[in-house]
Chain A
């Protein structure tokens, strides 16, 4: 790799051993990628506070300095961790104190995370505690180089905001926070940002459930490539594209897509493909829609629903409001629980707006910071759950060994009230 003078100085220890270790990791990572240089970043989204058995052991051995060195810098030396050099935020992590007594989750993990928040907060890590930093004020500008992890956030930043980030990891974001650098590879380079596949939508896609299904179809189709979506699609909002990208990054590895006339790097279909010939379109019609619905719903047969999970990726205020309206004046089935996962900041808005009270009066909960997949925790005894998230329906059966139903927000709320799944494709 070619390093600039400031990068070389950091590597040589001019800014202390932690920054040197961070630069060493970035050089090893860049060389693994066969990347020529680093680029400057001023927006890092990573993870430091998430509890794990390995992290608990490291903290016991050498405190949080040790845990950060090993896990976030891949460094075995005893080094002191300084302040972050550039703005850095914590993504979703484990459950917090608000889950105590609600979620079957170890108190020690809540305590460990509390300690972590205090340590990293003092070093300039903003505890956003959400998989959707773009919902709570972290909105990189078009063309801005970033170092983000969380596949659903990466695809949103690249596609909807036009920012430039690869799908980073725990160590690369730790190193980026201390240096303001990341390998200039992949999505950072203009030539890697044009579309590769064309998908023509021939059924109406007008709700985030439909966008999730379309995303699941597209991800499976293109895998790691860059799809361009045209056809019978209503003007999407933040929630629609949040669910589309999350699903496309679940069934495949989509990090960047374009919707001509909607997303910033695709004013036209031709622009989405960078002037290269537009490929033949793959159709998403009624048959494909039915197949993807059946695929996501292929995991169970019992219609007895123990648990309903909304808010993956973390819910917007509008989604919390919509759930509150669906639950208003109703009462959950005695053997079914309903959780809505949301960013802490937006839960505060929901509390203040009275939505949380309506949901809690019905027996549901609004929880922050985490999700059942991140924390491997669902209500005790759950065998079957229902969700409005294609991503959670995909992952949770593998992680918790439970069965999934996927449908609209209102179908999920109905399942929570009746204890039975009665959703279906309309």
Chain B
């Protein structure tokens, strides 16, 4: 298991399966909030849903509609469980705030390289003195993620219980 340390962007704790994007993500013109999917045709995750996933990505790009579109995923029940990203911008900061999911940045290792899609991840933005991200190195399908002790108790996450999966 790997532990990353970073800075809290939005408080909270969430645990779930990682979805890793190596490319930045557009909000307006880049996602469909009704489905929680990436719709930018040239994007590596075109057609993939981030709903109910720990979204790991370099940051936001494109229109100032970014935060509004991710806020809509919250209202439509298609939001990611948490956000872990590398480059801070006003778009992604406000977007994480209004999506109301735990969010962490300024990590001591590059999360996009360290975490793989399908990894079971626990994001603890409230940990002191630094926010913590626990990454179980096993991929879903190879090991039962619930057998991996990440110290999350019942496995409850603010995101999953409050906003639900689609």
Contacts and interface: CB of A to CB of B under 8 A. Distances in A.
Contacts of B30: 398
Contact of B93 (A33, A47, A74, A224): A33
A309 to B, nearest CB: 15
A194 B131 CA distance: 32
B64 interface: yes
A151 B90 contact: no
B114 interface: no
Given A169-B95, A172-B94, A395-B29, A151 B75 contact: no
B87 A224 contact: yes
A150 interface: yes
A171 B65 CA distance: 10
Given A33-B88, A253-B61, A171 B10 contact: no
A397 B46 CA distance: 14
A54 B98 CA distance: 14
Nearest to B99: A74
A71 B68 contact: yes
A135 interface: no
Interface string B5-40: 001011000000000000000000110011000011
Contacts of B29: 373, 395, 398-399
B45 interface: no
A317 B89 CA distance: 34
Contacts of A168: 64, 90, 94
B163 to A, nearest CB: 13
Contacts of B7: 34
Contacts of A171: 67-68, 71, 94, 97-98
Nearest to B10: A32
A121 interface: no
B96 interface: yes
Interface SS, A side = helix
Contact of B71 (A29, A71, A250): A71
A25 B10 CA distance: 12
Nearest to B94: A169
Measured as residues with beta carbon below 8 angstroms from the partner, the interface class of chain B is 35 or more
Contacts of A172: 67, 90, 94
A167 B75 contact: no
A311 B141 CA distance: 51
Contact of B89 (A54, A74, A224): A224
Contacts of B76: 54
Contacts of B67: 169-172
B66 interface: yes
Interface residues of A, number: 37
Nearest to B64: A149
A170 B7 CA distance: 25
Contacts of B68: 47, 71, 169-171
A108 B89 CA distance: 35
A119 interface: no
* Most A CB within 10 A of own CB, among B71, B72, B93: B93
A222 interface: no
A169 B91 CA distance: 7
A154 interface: yes
Given A32-B10, A373-B29, A395-B29, A167 B71 contact: no
B82 interface: no
B46 to A, nearest CB: 10
Given A32-B10, A151-B64, A373-B29, A253 B71 contact: no
Interface string B45-74: 000000000000000011111111001100
B103 interface: yes
Contacts of A185: 90
Interface string A150-175: 11001000000000001111111000
Contacts of A124: none
A33 B64 contact: no
B81 to A, nearest CB: 17
* Most A CB within 10 A of own CB, among B39, B93, B94: B94
A74 B64 contact: no
Nearest to A76: B100
A70 interface: yes
Given A168-B90, A398-B40, 16 more contacts: A32-B94, A34-B88, A70-B75, A71-B68, A71-B71, A74-B71, A149-B64, A167-B89, A169-B68, A169-B91, A169-B94, A170-B68, A224-B89, A253-B62, A395-B29, A398-B30
16 contacts: A28-B97, A32-B9, A32-B97, A33-B93, A47-B68, A53-B34, A74-B71, A151-B62, A154-B64, A168-B90, A169-B98, A170-B67, A171-B68, A172-B90, A224-B89, A398-B30
Question: A-B pairs with the 4 shortest C-beta distances?
Answer: A169-B67, A149-B64, A170-B68, A32-B93
Interface of B: 7, 9-10, 29-30, 33-34, 39-41, 61-68, 71-72, 75-76, 87-91, 93-98, 100, 103
Interface of A: 25, 28-29, 32-34, 47, 52-54, 70-71, 74, 149-151, 154, 166-172, 183, 185-186, 223-224, 250, 252-253, 373, 395, 397-399
